[in-house]
Structure 1
């Protein structure tokens, strides 16, 4: 994990790649738990035998929104800014699901810092360009611009 001394050090990195997270395994249990949490039990995610036979992907795949939900833990694995007391998920500017994540794959995040904008006393809006990469694949699973409000 990369430790930055303060927001000023973070600001000096605008336009640069900050780093990559560790790999995270996407197993069937994680997919099933996400299906239960979201009431999305579409067969391409949870019916292993049918997905192997009928899915254009050759097996079950993770939900796109499951992949997206991994942004916080993956990004938190990459860097930390000292002096920030609170980080608030502010939303997303743009999201694209580029390639399916087959169950059994591993994913990681690659983060490039797009902007750091002051938002009042001790507050900064951080915009990261994030690619969720699939191990051994050329295409990323997901491309997103994530917004986080930092409060000092």
Structure 2
């Protein structure tokens, strides 16, 4: 795991592959809880019996936004940001969902630090990310996520 405590340490990582998280299994329980939280109960996510017969995947699939919501958790397995006042999710750019994540699939996050800007003491970090699906060629998604970091002075 990489530890970053300030802008200079962050700057040394620009262009580098920062690492890969551990595998995380997407369960039906997690999908159902996400559906409850977001009010998105589309059957392709929440009805295993119907999905077996009517879905082209023959299984329920995770919400695309559920997979995206795992980014902060999995990111923290790759890099520890210390000496921090605040971290803010700032944006997602060039996002493409490449394939659905079937229930009980394992996913992990792969991260490269694409860019870094010091905006008068607020650090804007752009990470190129890919969510890999175990035993699949194509990722669940790829794109760039942007975080803002406020370090302690």
For 2:65 and 2:88, locate their aligned partners in 1 and report how far apart those are by CA, in whole Å: 19
Q: Give 5+ residue unaligned stretches, structure 1.
A: none
Per the alignment, residue 67 of structure 1 pairs with 67
Greater mean deviation of Cα atoms: 27-36 or 88-97: 88-97
Q: Secondary structure in 1 aligned to 2:84?
A: coil
Per the alignment, residue 30 of structure 1 pairs with 30
* 8 Å CA contact 1:7, 1:81 repeated in 2: no
Q: Give the TM-score, by structure 1 length.
A: 0.95
For 2:82 and 2:74, locate their aligned partners in 1 and report how far apart those are by CA, in whole Å: 18
For 1:5 and 1:86, locate their aligned partners in 2 and report how far apart those are by CA, in whole Å: 13
Deviation at 1:5, TM superposition (A): 4.4
* 8 Å CA contact 2:5, 2:84 repeated in 1: no
For 2:81 and 2:60, locate their aligned partners in 1 and report how far apart those are by CA, in whole Å: 37
Per the alignment, residue 138 of structure 2 pairs with 139
Deviation at 1:33, TM superposition (A): 0.5
Q: Secondary structure in 2 aligned to 1:77?
A: helix
Per the alignment, residue 79 of structure 1 pairs with 79
For 1:93 and 1:99, locate their aligned partners in 2 and report how far apart those are by CA, in whole Å: 18
* 8 Å CA contact 1:10, 1:81 repeated in 2: no
Per the alignment, residue 128 of structure 2 pairs with 129
Q: Secondary structure in 2 aligned to 1:131?
A: strand
Per the alignment, residue 7 of structure 2 pairs with 7
For 1:14 and 1:104, locate their aligned partners in 2 and report how far apart those are by CA, in whole Å: 34
Q: Secondary structure in 2 aligned to 1:34?
A: helix
Q: Give 5+ residue unaligned stretches, structure 2.
A: none
Q: Give the TM-score, by structure 2 length.
A: 0.94
For 1:145 and 1:151, locate their aligned partners in 2 and report how far apart those are by CA, in whole Å: 20
For 2:144 and 2:71, locate their aligned partners in 1 and report how far apart those are by CA, in whole Å: 10
